[in-house]
Chains A and B, each alone.
Chain A
Amino acid sequence: MSFKHVWIVFKKEVKDIARDKKTILTNLLVPIILMPLIFFIMGGSFKRLGEDINENVTVALSSNSNTREIIQLVQEKIFADYPNIKLNGVVEDPIQAIRNNEVRFVIDVEENFAESLKQELPYTITILFDHSDTKSSGSYEIIAQAVNKYRDSIIRQRLESKNIDLSLLEPVKVVLNNAADEKTGGNFMIMMMLPMLISVLIAVAGIPAATDLVAGEKERATLEPLLTTQAGRMSILLGKYFTVTLFSIVGVIAQFIGVLIGFATSPDFLNMGGEASSQMSFYFPPLAMFLVILITISMGMVFAGLQLAVSTYAKSFKEAQTYLSFFILIAMVPAYATMMLQPSDIELYMFFVPLLNAIASLKMVLGNVINYTYLEIALATSFIYVAISLLFAASLFKKEKVLFRS
């Protein structure tokens, strides 16, 4: 093997692919433009949904509750402090009215509530809503808060009339304090999305390059002249291998830039339409960051080796594309399986499993729950997988039966 030949092949392949408009478009420009666009559209719809849930709480009364007293109770006492709750008349068929989206809630108040109230007896307010409807279930908190506030005011009045100390109602005071490190701030969306995106991309971003570099060469009849130059097969393979790795990493960086632009321009996406967080800041210890970058790059190298092996085995460009498309599925399984995984739930075995080790490491660092031994295990296993995948690709590239399968 000659490093000079490896460098010549690498330089040529990078130049060749960099001139391919399709690859540049799909690997670089699309992620940088598409991600912010997705975030903008999704962020906008999250925001609109949030506004609708909070500001458009439509309520109707059941026909049984269509009395002056009940209307007065609802309008002047229960919902008085809630201008966002709009009373929209009376409905004959409450279930149908909710299913038809005429109103989000139908309220039924016991007919003789006034009498019960006077006698200090309990009475029932029934709230009908559709739990499967995002808006209806989202607005429920607002309605429940209004009704509970009304209930509390009655309790207070009754206790005061009996000269009972109100503190009896609160035997325990609960104080909530956030234990999260202020430096990490953190955001659930980022911790959920970034490892998933990066792991899928690191596994698939090199596919266009890998397809082109061996199966493409076979189809263009450029591989045979290449094999008769003085460059050994290992030098040719390594030059191509580093090219695929480079384009995997470039693809991930492009996507990462796209995600960052998306986060910066559409913060509503991160907050799921809620209030903007002022705590949006991250702190990564440099060593942990360095280790996690190395693990991610190693994982890119593992996939580069496997993709080149598949491309070597394929008879044609199309065959390579078909086989390599399965890599997307392979990457999606651990990526989606661990989407909701919390840093504290990460187990030791995950750092031994390829791809899962990169996801677990990323989650650990993003969540600032760092165990350096686990990161070192992930790095060591990644290096082993790099060697295995490269040896596998090299063995196929040297096999006549495979290389000249056509």
Chain B
Amino acid sequence: MLKVTGLTKRFGDITAVNDISFQVGEGEVFGLLGENGAGKTTTLRLLATMLKPTLGTASLGGYDLIKEPEKVRRKIGILFGGESGLYDRLTAAENITYFGELNNMSKSEVNERIKYLTKAFGMEEYINRKAGKFSKGMKQKVAFARSIVHDPDIMLLDEPTSGLDVSAIRNVHDFIQTCRNDGKTIIFSSHTMSEVEKLCDRIGIIHKGSLVTTGTIDEIIKEFNGDSLEEIFVKMVGDKNEF
């Protein structure tokens, strides 16, 4: 479903992402674990076609990232950062419709999908109200609905719980579970061990742009002979930092 091959991104002299390769299967949640500035956001921006790779490529849903970026965009949904990023002067429905239409959905398709998502996320009370006055939780649900309005096969989630309170984090976790149950391929970046352990089927540890290791949590613990993922992560990152 998603195959990354030798993906590299350089900004001048700085190599933000260095020759990373991994695969994620259908219905799988892949956690990209790394410190701030490790290259997680750049990797996800590359996969979302926002940035062009310097070297390497990726295949998303059978489409090549470099050759068919528009087709790739048809396959992906994104949720970047803890902030929901809505248009405050538009209603929740208008926010979702805008993204549905830009993803080439017809009016009737968008309306049907909004009906479904409104029910799925319990947004009946405020779907036709302007987003500016929503609580954080309400905004979050609209952002979730917006990201999957076109029913993408692949979800790219870049630190979606950053800066959120406990109940908002719970909402994000539930959303990821829903996407997984719907058979979506998910890449989820985070620097929080507990949520990676809770949600991900497999993880990849990224440090200074390079993918240090990939595997299930058990495989990684076994491979690096540690007691916990956190211990191994600190050891890896710490060791590398010493260089």
Q: Which residues of A contact B (CB under 8 A)?
A: 5, 8-9, 12, 15-16, 19-20, 220-222, 224-232, 400-401, 404
Can you pick out 21 interface pairs between chain A and chain B where the beta carbons lie within 8 Å of each other?
Answer: A9-B102, A12-B98, A19-B89, A19-B90, A220-B87, A221-B83, A221-B84, A224-B45, A224-B48, A224-B78, A225-B78, A225-B80, A225-B85, A226-B102, A228-B50, A228-B73, A228-B76, A229-B73, A229-B103, A230-B103, A230-B104
**A12 vs B94: C-alpha distance in the bound complex, in angstroms?**
9
Which chain A residue has the least Cβ–Cβ distance from B152? A228
Partner of B78, one of A16, A228, A231, A232: A228
CB-based contact A230/B73 at 8 Å = yes
Knowing A8-B102, A229-B99, A230-B103 touch, does A221 contact B81 (C-beta < 8 A)? yes
Does chain A have a CB within 8 A of B74? Answer: yes
Partner of B80, one of A9, A220, A221: A221
A268 to chain B, nearest CB (A): 42
Does chain A have a CB within 8 A of B243? Answer: no
Q: Which residues of B contact A (CB under 8 A)?
A: 11, 45, 48-52, 70, 73-74, 76, 78, 80-81, 83-90, 94, 98-99, 101-104, 130, 146-147
CB-based contact A227/B99 at 8 Å = no
CB-based contact A230/B70 at 8 Å = yes
CB-based contact A15/B86 at 8 Å = no
Which chain B residue has the least Cβ–Cβ distance from A236? B102
B45 partner residues in chain A, CB cutoff 8 A:
224, 404
Knowing A16-B87, A230-B73 touch, does A225 contact B101 (C-beta < 8 A)? no
Partner of B51, one of A5, A15, A231, A400: A400
A117 to chain B, nearest CB (A): 84
Total contacts A to B, CB within 8 angstroms? Answer: 73
A163 to chain B, nearest CB (A): 91
B107 to chain A, nearest CB (A): 11
**A229 vs B83: C-alpha distance in the bound complex, in angstroms?**
18
Partner of B146, one of A225, A231, A232: A225
CB-based contact A228/B48 at 8 Å = yes
CB-based contact A8/B80 at 8 Å = no
CB-based contact B89/A12 at 8 Å = no
**A220 vs B85: C-alpha distance in the bound complex, in angstroms?**
5
**A178 vs B51: C-alpha distance in the bound complex, in angstroms?**
68
CB-based contact A20/B89 at 8 Å = yes
Which chain B residue has the least Cβ–Cβ distance from A398? B52
**Other A-B pairs beyond A222-B87, A224-B50, A231-B102, 10, CB < 8 Å:** A5-B102, A12-B94, A19-B90, A220-B88, A221-B85, A224-B48, A225-B99, A225-B147, A229-B99, A404-B50
Residue among B85, B98, B102 facing the most chain A CB atoms (10 A cut-off): B102
**A221 vs B159: C-alpha distance in the bound complex, in angstroms?**
14
